[in-house]
Amino acid sequence: MLFRMQEMMSKGLKASVKEELDVSDLFKGRSDVIQAGPLSVSLEVTGHDGYITVEGEMSADLELACSRCLEPTKEHTVIPFYEQFKPATSDTPGDEESDEEEDDEFVEVAGDKLDLKPYLEESLLLFMPFAPLCAKDCKGLCQVCGQNLNEHTCSCKNEKIDPRFAALKDLFKE
Ligand SMILES: [Zn+2]
Ligand SMILES: [Zn+2]
């Protein structure tokens, strides 16, 4: 997924990207992500005078641990992607102030080669479901014995104390 920026911009080239990206390495060591990907990428890359737009969509099948009961949960994530890239302006030393004022409409790319992969990966990480659930009414695990309460109820006395009331109880102690 490499593009030569100068050529694309000067000739106003267009390119379609349809690719499957292996993203399993991104989630190595994360216990909440059981399986991820591949990431299906479908993008249009267009060269304009002075900048390049990349627009489209990515999607991935994910297998995540339910945030309540930890059972594997399948999710299909669709991620819109829109980014504008332009060549980095050659900074003159001591010119840092104007740097900060630069609007962040554009992502600056050093050199002539635009590699989209890191931006796509970043976007996927950003759009990962935050608290996946196996079912909307997942009962979670018993906090005493660890039993998956979707499968069986346990005999623990689960006094369900609302955390707000728990805080009140503490207040009364004093
Ligand atoms: Zn669950
Ligand atoms: Zn229990």
Confidence at residue 157, expressed as pLDDT on a 0 to 100 scale: 75
Given a cut of 70, is residue 169 above it in pLDDT? no
With contact defined as beta carbons under 8 Å apart, do 51 and 109 qualify? no
pLDDT-above-90 percentage for the chain: 75
Given a cut of 60, is residue 94 above it in pLDDT? no
Q: What pTM did the predictor assign?
A: 0.78
Distance 42 CA to ligand 2 centre (A): 47
CA distance 121 to 61: 14
pLDDT digits (tens, 9 = 90+) for 17-65: 999 999 999 999 999 999 998 999 999 999 999 999 999 999 999 999 9
Confidence at residue 159, expressed as pLDDT on a 0 to 100 scale: 61
Ligand nearest to the CA of 155: 2
With contact defined as beta carbons under 8 Å apart, do 69 and 139 qualify? yes
pLDDT mean over 125-134: 92
Confidence at residue 172, expressed as pLDDT on a 0 to 100 scale: 60
Mean pLDDT taken over the chain: 88
With contact defined as beta carbons under 8 Å apart, do 154 and 147 qualify? yes
If phi over 0 gives left and psi between -120 and 50 gives alpha, with beta otherwise, what is residue 85?
Answer: beta
Ligand nearest to the CA of 139: 1
Neighbours of ion ligand 1 (CB under 5 A): 66, 68-69, 134, 138
Q: How confident is the model at residue 111 (pLDDT cuts 50, 70, 90)?
A: very high
What backbone phi and psi angles, to 5 degrees, belong to 17? Answer: -115, 120
Ligand nearest to the CA of 154: 2
3-class secondary structure, 86: strand
Confidence at residue 3, expressed as pLDDT on a 0 to 100 scale: 96
Confidence at residue 167, expressed as pLDDT on a 0 to 100 scale: 64
CA distance 135 to 40: 25
Distance 146 CA to ligand 2 centre (A): 6
